[in-house]
Amino acid sequence: MRISDVLRHKGAEVATVRTDASVADLLQRLATHNVGALVVSDDGETVAGIVSERDVVRRLHVEGEGLLHHRVRDIMTVEVATCEPHHAVDDLMRVMTERRIRHVPVLVDGRLAGLVSIGDVVKTRMGELEDETHQLESYISGGS
């Protein structure tokens, strides 16, 4: 299965936040979109970074409540793992596991085309396993 298959089922909409947004604004956007991470982009097309709830929590421990007034650019991850629609989901799973990341932006010609989360990957894999189980049961029973 390819990343394009995942995006076809979940959609390609990506919630973003600007680099100059405050951390308080970031938290509001995370809650509004009910997501664990946002792609950081000033134009909605290029990826400047990614920022997650985990980034906020780790910095909050050090900075305290003053962190809410910091800018997203101060806490975002700049080295972002990305993928393309033709990449295999299994390969993405491996990258997510090795790098201990939960969200990967999908790019087409360097432009943001989607976001795949670990939840999307698990859901896709579960669907594949259910299909395989059904096919095996059908084969064993001699049915259609």
pLDDT of residue 125: 82
Alpha-carbon dihedral angle through residues 41, 43, 44, 45, given to the nearest 10 degrees: -90
pLDDT of residue 143: 64
Which fold is adopted by the domain 3-141? CBS-domain (3.10.580)
pLDDT of residue 15: 95
Reported pTM: 0.85
Residues 18-32: b if buried by 16+ CB within 10 A, e if exposed: beebbbeebeebbee
What string of pLDDT tens digits covers the 144 residues of the chain? Answer: 899 999 998 888 999 999 999 999 999 999 999 999 999 999 999 999 999 999 999 999 889 999 999 999 999 999 999 999 999 999 999 999 999 999 999 999 999 999 999 999 988 888 777 777 888 888 888 865
pLDDT of residue 144: 57
Q: Which two tokens stand for residue 13?
A: 């909409």
Distance CA 96, CA 94 (A): 5
SS3 of residue 13 by DSSP: coil
Q: Residue 102: which residues within 8 A CB-CB, separation 6 or more? A: 36, 37, 52, 96, 117, 118
Domain spans of the chain, in order of start: 3-141
pLDDT of residue 29: 97
Q: What is the DSSP letter of 142?
A: T
